Structure 1
Amino acid sequence: MKALIDEWKHMISGKTVFILLLAPIIVSVVFGYVFKNNQINEAPVAIIDQDHSSYSSQLINKLDASQYVNVKSVYENNVDPNMLLYNEKYFAVIYLPSGMEANRMQGKQSNIGFYVDNTVSQATGNLRTGVTEVITAENATLAAGSLKASGLTDGQISGMTSNMVVQQRLLYNPTNSTMMSSVLGFVNTVMLSLIAGAALSIIPRLRVEGRLQEEMQNPMGILLRVLPYALVGCISFFLSIGLLKQVGGLRFEAGMLQMLIPFMLYTTTLSLFAMVIGWTAPNPDKASGRIMLLMMPSFLLSGAQLPVAMLPGPLQVVGHILPLTWHFKFLRGMGFRGGELRYFIPELGGILILMSVFAAIIFILMVIEKRKLSKMEAKEAEVPVPQQQTLAHS
């Protein structure tokens, strides 16, 4: 009983009570808000209309009217579906072949292409259901009985009632392999903690060693300190993916030389972000505790746990501040979908802007740190003056 009372006094003497009470509430609110959209009802799709007919326009409108489908773009010319799926602008591409209206009038089948990006399978389940419902409804518009009475053969009736057949292809991850989702997400989370954890302690370590003021005389030198961690992290990514391909059968289409640029940009940007977070920590031990400020948002908002499109709008915007969000864009677009680096100029520009912002923040923090140190030196210089005057009078 005495031990129990002693432990209770120890607990209420600090912040433990508030942490135990508030942390579950905060986590419940955050997770409840993040995962409130458990499905996507308006999945963006592109349609390649090769028929250019009145009926193809009607069918496009019916698809767009589905609660699960958002026809974002219609292309009149033939386009490679992969080109439209590389950058995650669309979740699927629907291909309407030429002669579709004529085939419907003649009772012939038309094969509609339905190219689904299955690297984000959580986001495409309802989309596939919606497209199937629309096509099924179109095929059932004519009654089989009245067609039979008109003298049509069974083959013609089948063509009229099942005039369109959706040929669905699950692209990039047809087997729903967890290697491309959970496993790679876990690997990236571990890598993030290792790289960011090392970069977090750079400035606090220099501060403890008394070298920070001297090092800040060369601002670029401060920034360059993240490169060793970025380079080792980049190498580690290559090794991890190689092992996952050999041991786990990971499907990874991008060439390693092409992935070198986005990998290095990611690890460098991540290291700079970690340096910003750890800058004000008084020592490395205090800095290491801040890793959760980076890990938790990255885990929730970058696409590691669920597709970014399923997040609330404001959180999608916040997610673009996280380097891991851009990393997954390259990883999925180039590694999983096989897109070449030239297709990702906007993403390269985005992560370069993010890197520049973090570098600018570090320069601002250096200016603030220099002013703080100058004030401290000025105060220290003023202290001996009164003491010297007192000795002279005595």
Structure 2
Amino acid sequence: MTKEAALSGFAKWRRDIADSIYEEISAMMSGHFIPYHKLCFMAAFLTALIFSILFTQMGVIEAPVAVVDLDHSARSAKFIQAVDSSRDIRIASVFHTPVDPVYLTRHDNVVGVIVIPKGFEKGLLNGTTPYNIGYEADMGNPAQNGEVFESLNQIAAQEGIPVNAENLQALGPASAQSSGSSGLTVSIRRLFNPTNSLVPVTIAGFLYFFSGIFFGITTLMLTGRVHVMGQWENAILNRGPSAMIARLIPYALGYTAAVTIMTAGLVLFNCMPFKGNYLAYLPSLFMLPFSIGLIAMLITWSFKTPANGASFMIFVVPPGFIMGGMTMAMGELTGTGWYFAHLFPLTWQYSMYRDFAFRGMTLSQMIGPYGEYILYVTALMMLVTLRFYLERRRLLRIRDRQVAALAQVPGEAA
């Protein structure tokens, strides 16, 4: 090959690369495809802004914990006060009669239950061996109790040492040498996940998340597809909002069927727990994709092409996965953050899943959460309906202007 041919081939190679890059930039900015030049900055900015605001106080996590105080003594009250004053634990409620810890952890109300047995004060004052209190930890999300375990052990050591030191001092100088040992220890029982395995939680979390991703991409392109197929005006002007919302039903049924079949297989092979009644849980599972689809409609209502809608997936499904309590502790979301997390369907669904699958709640015990979930879906339907009628009014105005313009043409010709 001659030098001139080599230079010519190199120039063509550079030109081809430059042309390819230019074509992709042109497509990106044309408005007919995903506008990644805008989306990349939008996603990075919103992610950094929103989560930095939500997690500003992550260093001070007050995990809600219930207490069953069967001793009801001055010493147990002092211990409860010490726990409530700690950085990582907040006492949500105190009971002085036996209560089932599973019942107390329902709906993610608390991350665990401290059980102070009867005779607590007497055992500390009279005994010279370590005295145990119990902690029933909700391990539906193993991430939420790490700080609680550490804080409880520290508080138990601090609260137990003075009592033990007094008792050992009374026994004589030899015993007083070991006065640094604690007279109080914490016995931990892990509810719903005795082996502290991440597998059941991880499998369930990703099953709903990745299925939701594909469902979300499909429904985010739905309104754009209706535009492209020339069905938009007919759907708005000649049909009602219920007909528009009904377009989500076949997709939601497919999602529900697929997840149900996979769940059955995983439960059969002991890869996932499910202690409750799946038929009672099934309506909530249908509500998940249905609500994802409603949000997708709201976001992409004015998009003319399917590709534009697909680019907004990050704002529909992932936030619920991050803040829904399957990957991080719900206790880290306090105040505004907790309400923000419940704007996303997966947050609701993960809570329902933990109640039915891990805690074995019955339908009657889930009336409250079901009612709240239904109100959430109803609010989304009302927003879609409002958007529908605003669009109908816009199209009617356009049609009236077109009719008026056509009516003026004969007069002008005359």
User: Which interval holds the TM-score relative to the shorter structure?
Assistant: 0.7 to 0.9
1:148 maps to what in 2? 171
Give how far 1:370 is off.
1.1
Check conservation: 2:113, 2:135, Cα contact below 8 A.
yes
2:76 maps to what in 1? 56
Which of 46-55 and 140-149 deviates more? 140-149
Check conservation: 1:206, 1:212, Cα contact below 8 A.
yes
2:65 maps to what in 1? 45
Give how far 1:152 is off.
8.4
For the aligned residue pairs, the C-alpha RMSD in angstroms reads: 3.2
Query: Which one of 99, 112, 122 corresponds to residue 143 of structure 2?
Result: 122
Query: Which one of 71, 90, 96 corresponds to residue 76 of structure 1?
Result: 96
2:158 maps to what in 1? 137
1:232 maps to what in 2? 254
Which of 143-152 and 8-17 deviates more? 8-17
SS at structure 2 position matched to 1:87: helix
Aligned counterparts, 1:129-278, within 5 A? 129-141=150-162, 142-143=164-165, 146-149=169-172, 163-216=183-236, 217-247=239-269, 249-278=271-300
Query: Residues 25, 292 of structure 1: CA spacing in aligned structure 2 closer, same or farther, 3 A cutoff?
Result: closer
Moved over 4 A (4+): 4-40, 150-154, 160-163
- CA–CA separation in structure 2 for the residues paired with 1:369 and 1:206: 14
Task: After superposition, give the CA deviation of every residue in 1:71-117 in whole Å (9 maximum; x if it has no partner).
Answer: 12111221111110111111110111112222233327654221011
2:391 maps to what in 1? 369
Match of 2:207, as an amino acid? V
Give how far 1:5 is off.
6.3
Check conservation: 1:302, 1:325, Cα contact below 8 A.
yes
Q: Does 1:113 align with 2:105?
A: no
Check conservation: 1:87, 1:329, Cα contact below 8 A.
yes
Query: Residues 52, 19 of structure 1: CA spacing in aligned structure 2 closer, same or farther, 3 A cutoff?
Result: closer
1:85 maps to what in 2? 105
Query: Residues 220, 126 of structure 1: CA spacing in aligned structure 2 closer, same or farther, 3 A cutoff?
Result: same
- CA–CA separation in structure 1 for the residues paired with 2:81 and 2:368: 31
Query: Residues 148, 21 of structure 1: CA spacing in aligned structure 2 closer, same or farther, 3 A cutoff?
Result: same
Aligned counterparts, 1:29-40, within 5 A? 29-30=49-50, 32-33=52-53
Task: After superposition, give the CA deviation of every residue in 1:184-216 in whole Å (9 maximum; x if it has no partner).
Answer: 222211111232333334433333334344444
Give how far 1:304 is off.
4.1
Q: Does 1:282 align with 2:282?
A: no
Give how far 1:123 is off.
2.0
Task: After superposition, give the CA deviation of every residue in 1:30-83 in whole Å (9 maximum; x if it has no partner).
Answer: 555555555663211111111121221112112222222211211122111111
Query: Residues 72, 187 of structure 1: CA spacing in aligned structure 2 closer, same or farther, 3 A cutoff?
Result: same
Check conservation: 1:48, 1:96, Cα contact below 8 A.
yes
Check conservation: 1:11, 1:17, Cα contact below 8 A.
no
Which of 378-387 and 43-52 deviates more? 378-387
1:297 maps to what in 2? 319
SS at structure 1 position matched to 2:110: coil
Check conservation: 1:94, 1:115, Cα contact below 8 A.
yes
- CA–CA separation in structure 2 for the residues paired with 1:172 and 1:181: 11
Match of 2:361, as an amino acid? G
Match of 1:228, as an amino acid? P
Normalising by structure 1, report the TM-score: 0.86
Check conservation: 1:266, 1:351, Cα contact below 8 A.
no
Check conservation: 2:317, 2:346, Cα contact below 8 A.
no
- CA–CA separation in structure 2 for the residues paired with 1:223 and 1:100: 59
Check conservation: 1:204, 1:278, Cα contact below 8 A.
yes
Give how far 1:20 is off.
6.3
Query: Residues 134, 370 of structure 1: CA spacing in aligned structure 2 closer, same or farther, 3 A cutoff?
Result: same
- CA–CA separation in structure 2 for the residues paired with 1:167 and 1:81: 15
Check conservation: 1:39, 1:126, Cα contact below 8 A.
no
Give how far 1:357 is off.
0.8
Give ranges in structure 1 of 5+ residues lacking alignment. Answer: none
SS at structure 2 position matched to 1:41: coil
Match of 2:142, as an amino acid? S
- CA–CA separation in structure 2 for the residues paired with 1:291 and 1:175: 35
- CA–CA separation in structure 1 for the residues paired with 2:240 and 2:353: 35
Give ranges in structure 2 of 5+ residues lacking alignment. Answer: 1-10, 30-34
Query: Which one of 356, 361, 364 corresponds to residue 342 of structure 1?
Result: 364
SS at structure 2 position matched to 1:166: strand
- CA–CA separation in structure 1 for the residues paired with 2:53 and 2:412: 66
Give how far 1:240 is off.
1.9
- CA–CA separation in structure 2 for the residues paired with 1:18 and 1:384: 40
1:310 maps to what in 2? 332
% identical aligned pairs:
23
2:342 maps to what in 1? 320
Check conservation: 2:276, 2:362, Cα contact below 8 A.
yes
SS at structure 2 position matched to 1:181: helix
Match of 1:221, as an amino acid? A
Query: Residues 206, 103 of structure 1: CA spacing in aligned structure 2 closer, same or farther, 3 A cutoff?
Result: same
- CA–CA separation in structure 1 for the residues paired with 2:22 and 2:254: 47
Aligned residues: 389
- CA–CA separation in structure 1 for the residues paired with 2:290 and 2:41: 38
- CA–CA separation in structure 2 for the residues paired with 1:285 and 1:19: 13
